[in-house]
Amino acid sequence: MAQHLKSSSSKSAFLNILKHKLGFVSPSHGARHLRQNLPHGPPSIGVSQNPISRLCNTMAEKLSGIGFHEDVNNQVMDFPGGRIAFTPEIQFISESNKERVPCYRVLDDNGQLITNSQFVQVSEEVAVKIYSDMVTLQIMDNIFYEAQRQGRLSFYATTIGEEAINIASAAALTPEDVIFPQYREPGVLLWRGFTLQEFANQCFGNKSDNGKGRQMPVHYGSNKLNYFTVSATIATQLPNAVGAAYSLKMDRKDACAVTFFGDGGSSEGDFHGALNFAAVMEAPVLFICRNNGWAISTPTSDQFRSDGVVVKGRAYGIRSIRVDGNDALAMYSALCEAREMAIREQRPILIEALTYRVGHHSTSDDSTRYRSADEIEWWSKARNPLSRFRTWIESNGWWRDEAESDLRCRIKKEMLEALRVAEKSEKPNLKEMFSDVYDVPPSNLREQELLVRQTIKSHPQDYPSDVPL
């Protein structure tokens, strides 16, 4: 992708310094160190950076001695996975840490760079694209949302409030990284070059929709852009992403799988299965949780009693970080580092991005019935991801008021035109009802299609006229 402009060598050098400082929560204290010291295990294999031996760690774990041998003084025990110290105390692990896991950020609420903050430098070109795409996403959301309210679309779900997670994540990835989205990450597609017309075609399910009118609005997909078709069932994309990551691993690709989900999605069994599998398979996958406070009407206090989602990584042996999801620069930096680690070390990474769903869950929802207007107002004004990033790029001299008004004017015009074209466009042909159920249509489907065509021909009055035959 042309937009990915970072020089990888200088980025790597910087990331190596950053890695030790950025505050990724390490899984189990030095588990790898312990493994290397197993007296009964195979010779130390350790963290391999050789792509040929990408499975060595797994095998080392499998081969490490089953059964345990107590130390002479009975203070430690060898146990599969590493040595365990004995204790004479009845000591339960606390249900939580004294302090909540801190949240990494670079820009304060006013868009000022926080002193001594660590971040990956972005070029003017990338920074301006990040900002422009965030604005585009917001305008697109507002126009589609209004179109739905006017009855022109059956459904819509906005991404408002979560623009930084969408766009800054996409900016930190390469086009080869495969995305397994939920339904609140259209910004990744936008970044990768999906046009406003393509978004509109999908929402209207017309004949130009590359999804052939099969999916409800917002459930986009583009094989060309490595963005897998949105699955409406919550969290099923997580194990799918691990599988795709395993495929990248087997093919020795310099890429990772990236999957997005919400705080509510972390309650699904698929979340737990996927994290455990990813750790065991040593799959290069980034789990990005958009903790936006609300799963439709369920607040996170009714969703889990843990310190959010970030702490769950450690239980599965996964390195994790909590990031301010409304700070585009922090999201970008954390994602660059996470991606680098995931691919170089062949391991999953969990990122909990703290944000807020400023819009309703979808057009089927009225969120003012269960949360206060003040709360929504505060997040949309005081913690607005766009204005924060704008202040920063303005302070760099990369953005001015004229550019802002030009951009908004141009996008609005383009968007309205895309909407108009998509709405007027012909709907999919009858044949698309039967294609793609299988790679090659079986005889019963060919017969069904023939039957429908014959019936329409003999009873045209019983069928709508907007189905091209």
Partner 1 sequence: MWGILRQRAVDGGFSASSLRRTRSALVSARSYAAGAKEMTVRDALNSAIDEEMSADPKVFVMGEEVGQYQGAYKITKGLLEKYGPERVYDTPITEAGFTGIGVGAAYAGLKPVVEFMTFNFSMQAIDHIINSAAKSNYMSAGQINVPIVFRGPNGAAAGVGAQHSQCYAAWYASVPGLKVLAPYSAEDARGLLKAAIRDPDPVVFLENELLYGESFPISEEALDSSFCLPIGKAKIEREGKDVTITTFSKMVGFALKAAEKLAEEGISAEVINLRSIRPLDRATINASVRKTSRLVTVEEGFPQHGVCAEICASVVEESFSYLDAPVERIAGADVPMPYAANLERLALPQVEDIVRAAKRACYRSK
Contacts with partner 1, residue ranges (CB under 8 A): 55, 58-59, 62, 178, 180, 209-212, 214-215, 219, 221-223, 228-229, 231, 233, 236, 238-248, 250-251, 257, 269-270, 272-274, 276-277, 280-281, 432, 435-439, 442-444
Cα→Cα distances 54→242, 338, 344, 347, Å: 15, 18, 10, 10
* Contact present, 261 and 295 (Cβ < 8 Å): no
Q: How far is the CB of 120 from partner 1 (least distance, A)?
A: 28
Q: How far is the CB of 229 from partner 1 (least distance, A)?
A: 4
Residue 402 CB neighbour total at 10 angstroms? 8
Task: Rank residues 425 and 435 by Cβ distance to partner 1 and give the closer one.
Answer: 435
The kind and range of the H/E element at 392 are helix 385-395
Task: Rank residues 58 and 298 by Cβ distance to partner 1 and give the closer one.
Answer: 58
* Contact present, 148 and 155 (Cβ < 8 Å): yes
Task: Rank residues 56 and 403 by Cβ distance to partner 1 and give the closer one.
Answer: 56
Q: Alpha-carbon distance 92 to 100, whole Å? A: 19
Which residues 6+ apart lie within 8 Å of 326 measured at CB? 161, 164, 354, 355, 356, 383, 384, 385, 388
Q: How far is the CB of 55 from partner 1 (least distance, A)?
A: 6
Task: Rank residues 180 and 332 by Cβ distance to partner 1 and give the closer one.
Answer: 180
Nearest to 275 by CA among 218, 336, 317, 337: 317
Task: Rank residues 253 and 412 by Cβ distance to partner 1 and give the closer one.
Answer: 253
Task: Rank residues 253 and 408 by Cβ distance to partner 1 and give the closer one.
Answer: 253
Q: Alpha-carbon distance 332 to 288, whole Å? A: 12
Q: How far is the CB of 258 from partner 1 (least distance, A)?
A: 12
The kind and range of the H/E element at 179 are strand 178-180
Active site residues: 357, 361, 370
Q: What three-state secondary structure class fits 124?
A: helix
Bridge partners (DSSP) listed for residue 117: none
Which residues 6+ apart lie within 8 Å of 72 measured at CB? none
Nearest to 192 by CA among 204, 176, 180, 206: 176
Q: How far is the CB of 266 from partner 1 (least distance, A)?
A: 15
* Contact present, 11 and 137 (Cβ < 8 Å): no
Task: Rank residues 443 and 465 by Cβ distance to partner 1 and give the closer one.
Answer: 443
Q: Alpha-carbon distance 120 to 383, whole Å? A: 22
Q: How far is the CB of 442 from partner 1 (least distance, A)?
A: 4
Q: How far is the CB of 49 from partner 1 (least distance, A)?
A: 18
Q: Give the torsion through C-alpha atoms of 105, 108, 111, 114, to 10 deg.
A: -80
